[in-house]
Structure 1
Amino acid sequence: MQARIPDWLWLLRHEEKTALIDEHGAYSYAQLATMTSHLAAYLQEIGLGRSSKIALLARDPLIFAALTHAVRFIEGILIPINTRLLDGEIAWQCQDVGIDAFFVDEGHALRLQKVREVCAIKIGTYGVIERAKLNALTLSQSVGALVAPEGIALKAIATIIYTSGTTGKPKGAMISYEHHLYAAMMSAFRLGLDEHEVWLTAMPLFHVGGQGVLMRSVIYGTTAYIMERFDEQIFNCLLTQGQVTLVSVVPAMLSRMLQGREQGYHERLRCVLLGGGPVSMPLLMRAKELGVPVSQTYGMTETNAQFSTLAPRDSLRKFGSAGKPLVQNELCILDENGQSLPPNTPGEIVVRGPTVIDGYYHQEEATRKAFSDGWFHTGDLGYVDDQGYLFVLDRMHDLIVSGGENVYPAEIESVLMTYEGVKEVGVVGKADARYDQVPIAFVVLEEYVGTITQEVLIHFCEQHVAHYKVPKEIRFVEALPRNASAKLLRRELLTWV
C-alpha cells in the first residue's frame, strides 16, 4: 500500500483565508473544502470511486477547482478536456482513455449530448455540475452530505492530460500528485513564496499551465485568481491596483497588456511568469523599459509546466534566457547522434527530474520513443551558456504555438490530404501580432482538378479540427520543397511565408 500524506485542501478546511477568486466572487478555503467534500459525496453516490476516470469539459474556475479536488478525495483520475476541441476530437480522447464519467459546467451543457452521440463507447455517468447546487450543497440526494479524504497517495495518477505528438496523434500524459508536490516546492525555491500570494492567470485549467496555478496555490495555502478568459484591460487593472503578486501569461497575452502602456505596475507585483513558447526580443525589451519583472520559464505538459525558470534577480543579467533547471531537475543538449554538446552549441533539449512524467497512458511505443535512460527528449532546440542558463531557440519538431495552444502541422496536413484533389500539403507557422503564430498551408493540387478555393479548404478544416488549428491562409503552389529522400523541407517552406 502506498504511503499517504494529509490532503492539502482538507488541512485548510477551517481556514477563512481566500482560496480562489474568479469573475463571480471569492471563496475561502473553508468554503472550497466544504463544496469539494459535498461534490465528492455526490460522485460516490453515483458509483464513482478509486481509479474512476472522470472527464471534465469546463471553463468555470469554481467548478473546475471543486471537481479537481473532489476527484482526489475519492481517489479517481481527472481527464481535463480542452474546450476548444471539436466533438469528434473529444470523443476520441474519451474512447482512448476509457472514461467512466463525463461532466460539464453550465456553459458547455449543450455539448454534452453531442459528445455522447459521437462517442463509440458508452458513457456510464454524465451530467452538468451547476454552480448554484454546488454552492447550496444540494448536488447529492443527501443534502449537505460530506466526504472526508483518506489522504493523498503521492504516486497515484492525478490527471491524464492529452498533448499532441509530432505526428499529431494525441497522447495522454500521466501526472501524479508527487509531480504536483515537487513542482510546487521547486517553483517556490526559484521564485520565492509570499504568504499573501495572489497568483493570477487566464491559462485554461485543462492545460498544465492553469492546473499548475490551481494545484500549487492549494499546496502553498495561498490564493489562486483564475479568469475564464484573458482580457488585457482587466489584467492591467488588477496589476496596477496591486491586487496581484504573481501572474502567469504567454507572450501573446503580455504583448497585448503592454501595448500602448506608458508605465509599469504596482510594486506588489513581484513576478510575471512568461512561458508558452519562444519570446521575441522586442517584447522583452518593452517589458524592461517599463520595469515589468518578467521571468521567462520553459516547460511543457510532460514536465508538469515549469521545468526551468529565470530567477527574478537574473532577469536583466540573463536577458532572453529561460533560466536554469529548477532544483533537482537536470537538462542536457544533445546532437543528432545523441552526444552531449558543449556550452553555446545548439541541439535538442533533453530533460529529467521529479516533475517529468513517467510516460503516456497505454502508449508504450510513444513512451519508448520519447524516453531514454530516464531522459525525456523534448524535441526542442536550444543551448546552455557557460553558466548553465538555458536559451530556447525553436521547436525542433515544427510545433506552432498559437495564442498558447499547441498546433502540430502534421495533424492539419493529414486532414487536408483527405480532401479530394489535394496532392500534397505543407503547414508552417506565420508570425502574428495577436497570437504570436498562426498556421498557414501550402497546397499542391492533382493535375486533373479544376478549381479549389482557399475558402473551401478552410471550411473543410473547420469541420474536422478545433478552430485554433484551422489554417488562417492557404496558398496554392506547384510543388513543395523536398530533399533527396522526399522528406518535406519545412525550414525552406518557412522562407516562403
Structure 2
Amino acid sequence: MQNAMMPNWLMQRANLTPERPAFETDGDIISFRMLWEQVYELAGKLASLGIRKNDHVALLSGNSLDLVRFFHALMAIGAVGVPLNTRLSIEEQVWEIEDSKASWLIFDDKNHLFNSAANEPRLFHRISISQVKRQSHSEVKLQAEFSLDAPCTMIYTSGTTGKPKGVVLTFGNHWWSAAGSALNLGLTETDKWYCCVPLFHVSGLSLLMKNVIYGMPVVLAKKFDPHEANQMICKNGVTMISVVANMLRRMLDDLGTASYPDAFRCMLLGGGPAPLPLLQRSRQKKIPVYQTYGLTETASQMVTLPPEFMFSKLGSAGKPLFHGEIRIIKEDRVADPGEAGEIQVRGMNVSPGYWNHPETADRTFSGGWLRTGDIGYLDTDDFLYVLDRRDDLIISGGENVYPAEIESVLLAFPDVEEAGVIGVKDEQWGEVPFAFVHMKPERTVSEKDILDFCQKKLARYQLPVGIQFTGLLPRNASRKLLRRKLVDRLPKEFSAQK
C-alpha cells in the first residue's frame, strides 16, 4: 500500500493564505508568503553545504524566527531536524548530536562556544546560523509532498529520569496531533497563540506545526516572562497560550486583581499534575484553563479536558483526543474505574519508537500501546486523573504515596512559592516522604507551622518526615520539576531511596 502523501505544509499554506500573518516577534510581523520565500532561499543554502534528504541535522538555538525557518527548510529538503536543549552542557549536547548520528550542527550566536569547544575531531560538522546565511544558494528539488510515514523531527526526552532518548516523530504524528487538538479545542478566525515555551521542546514545536496547518498567527517570545505574557493576552489579542503550572502561578501573581478579556479562550496547562490550589485560583478568576496530558512520544497533547467539563471535573486531564485511546494497566490487567495503574495510550500521534534504542522501544511500545511510565486512574465517566511518575512513586509501609499530592497540599500553604517531594529510606516503613519548599519573598515560617498545616489535610503515611527550606527548585527547560536533583539538597541524616 502506498504511503499517504500530503502537500508540503508551508508551501500549501503560503498558496492558500499568502498575506495572512504567520509570526509576530519583537514588533515584526511576517506573512506566510514571506516565510515560504525565506525558507526556499534558506533550503538552497543548506543544500550548498551538502545537506540532503534523510540527513539528521541538529539545531541549537533559542526561540527565534531563524529557528522556525531552519525547521521548515529541513522539512522542505526532506532532512530530519534534531532540536537540542539550550540549557544542557556542551558535553550533553555533543552526546545527543552523536547519538542521533547528526551530520551537521547548526547553532545560533549565543552558542558560540561550539566554535572553540571540543576541538578534537567529531563525527559531525558545525556551523553558525550567520555563517549559513552567507552561503551561496544551490538549486535543490524541494519536497512538494510529505509522506505521513516519513520521519520529520527527532526530539530528545527531557531526561527527568535516566538518559535522554531520541523520539522519532513522523509527519503523520505531527499532523494528527494538530488535527486532534483542533477537534478538541476548536479553531476560530481570531485565534492567536502565544508561544513562550522553547521550540526545542515538543510543546513549542507542536505550535510551529499548528501554525502552518491551521493558518494561525503565533506570537513568538524568546523566553517566558509572566508580565509580558499577560500583556500579550490583555493588549495584543492573544487568545491561546501553552503553560505549565509554575508559569501559570507566576502569571496569576503578576495579574493581581485584574482579569483577562473575554476573547482569551484557552490556557492550555500541561507538564504534569496541576496543584488543586492553582486550579481553584484560576477558577475564581474565571480563567479558561484546559488541563492536558501529553508526552514527547505523543507529539504533545494526548488527553485534554473539554471545555464543558472544565469545572465539574476539576483536576482531571480529560479524555483522549478524537483519534486516541487510553487504558490503565495494573498488574497485567485493565484496572477498574478509580483504580490507579500505569497510563497506556495509542493513536496516530504516537511515535513509532526511539532512535537507536530498539530494546527500549520494544518494551515501551508494546502491542501497539505506549507504556508511559505515568500513574493515573480513570473515573466512572472515563476521565483521566494523572497522579505522578511511576519512577517518583513512594511506597511507604505498602501504601502508594504520590509526591504530586503532597506538593499540592504544600502549595496551598500561603507562604510557599514552590514545593518538591521525594522518598527517603526508613527502617520501619521502607520509604517515607521528605519535602523541599521555597518560600515567597520575605516570608518566614517554621517547619512545625507547615507540618501542622499538612497534618490536617494528609494521611499519616503521607506526612513528610522533614522539610528543607531551600532556594528555587531545579527544573528542566519545559519548567518541569526535576525531583531527582533534589537528592543533592537532602540533609546528611537522610538518605534517598532511589
Residues 92-491 of structure 1: pairs in structure 2 closer than 5 A = 92-114=95-117, 116-117=118-119, 121-124=122-125, 126-130=126-130, 139-142=134-137, 148-164=142-158, 168-241=162-235, 243-259=237-253, 261-335=256-330, 337-398=331-392, 430-432=436-438, 471=486, 474-478=489-493, 480=495, 488=497
The answer (yes or no) to whether the contact 1:104–1:112 under 8 Å persists in 2 is no
- In the superposition, the TM-score normalised over structure 2's length comes to 0.79
- The aligned residue for residue 415 of structure 1 is none
* Cα shift readout 1:371-391 (whole Å, capped 9, x = no counterpart): 211111111111111111111
For 2:7, the equivalent position in structure 1 comes to: 6
CA apart distance, 1:231: 0.5
Range with greater deviation from structure 2 (316-325 or 165-174): 165-174
- SS of the aligned residue for 2:490 comes to strand
CA–CA distance in structure 2, aligned partners of residues 267 and 72 of structure 1:
37
Q: What is the CA–CA distance in structure 2 between the aligned matches of 1:475 and 1:332, rounded to whole Å?
A: 36
Q: Is the 8 A contact 2:157 2:165 kept in 1?
A: yes
Residues 1:369 and 1:148: Cα distance change in structure 2 (over 3 Å): closer
Provide the rounded CA distance (Å) in 1 between the counterparts of 2:21 and 2:74.
21
1:56 pairs with 2:59: yes
In structure 1, how many angstroms separate the alpha carbons of the residues matched to 2:434 and 2:50? 46
Give the Å deviation of 1:195.
2.5
The amino acid across from 1:8 in the alignment is: W
* CA-to-aligned-CA distance 1:195-246 (integer Å, 9 cap, x gap): 2321112111001000011111111111111211101111111111251011
Which residue pairs with 2:36 in the alignment?
A: 33
Q: Which stretch of the first structure deviates more once superposed, 188-197 or 293-302?
A: 188-197
Q: Distance in 2 between matches of 1:146 and 1:265?
A: 47
What's the CA shift string for 1:94-144, capped at 9, x where partnerless?
111111111012222233432x436x63323x21113xx99xxx644249x
- Measure the CA separation in 2 of the matches of 1:217 and 1:277: 25
- Identify if the C-alpha distance between structure 1 residues 24 and 55 changes in structure 2 by more than 3 Å, giving closer, same or farther: farther
The number of residues matched between the two structures is 423
8 Å Cα contact 1:10/1:149 also seen in 2: no
RMSD over aligned CA atoms reads 2.9
CA distance in 2, matches of 1:341, 1:296: 23
> How far, CA to CA, are the matches of 1:429 and 1:174 in structure 2?
36
Instruction: Tell me by how many angstroms 1:27 deviates.
Output: 1.0
Provide the rounded CA distance (Å) in 2 between the counterparts of 1:168 and 1:427. 21
Counterpart CA distance in 2 for 1:276 and 1:313 is: 22
Partners of 2:199 and 2:102 lie apart in 1 by 19
CA–CA separation in structure 2 for the residues paired with 1:429 and 1:104: 39
Cα displacement (A) at 1:166: 7.3
Is residue 322–residue 390 contact of structure 1 (8 Å, CA) maintained in 2? yes
Residue 24 of structure 1: how far off its partner (Å): 5.2
**In the alignment, is the contact (CA less than 8 A) between 1:199 and 1:223 conserved in 2?**
yes
Closer, same or farther: CA 472–61 of 1 in aligned 2, 3 Å: farther
**Amino acid in the other structure paired with 2:102:** I
Q: Which residue identity does 1:189 align to in structure 2?
A: L
Distance 1:41 1:308 in 2: 39
Change over 3 Å in CA distance of 1:166–1:275 after alignment to 2: closer
CA distance in 1, matches of 2:164, 2:60: 17
Give the direction of change, closer, same or farther, for the CA distance of 1:220–1:112 in structure 2 (3 Å limit). Answer: farther
**Aligned-pair identity (%):** 34
Q: Which runs of 5+ in 1 are unaligned?
A: 411-425, 435-466, 482-487, 491-497
Counterpart of 1:174, as a letter, is: V
How far off its partner does 1:319 sit? 0.8
Runs of 4+ residues over 4 Å off in structure 1: 145-148, 164-167, 399-402, 426-429, 431-434, 467-473
Secondary structure in 2 matching 1:117: coil
Q: TM-score, normalised by structure 1?
A: 0.79
SS in structure 2 at match of 1:26: strand
Structure 2 gaps of 5+ residues are 394-402, 408-419, 424-431, 441-480
Q: Which residue is 1:494 aligned to? A: none
CA 1:72–1:378: 2 relative to 1, 3 Å: same
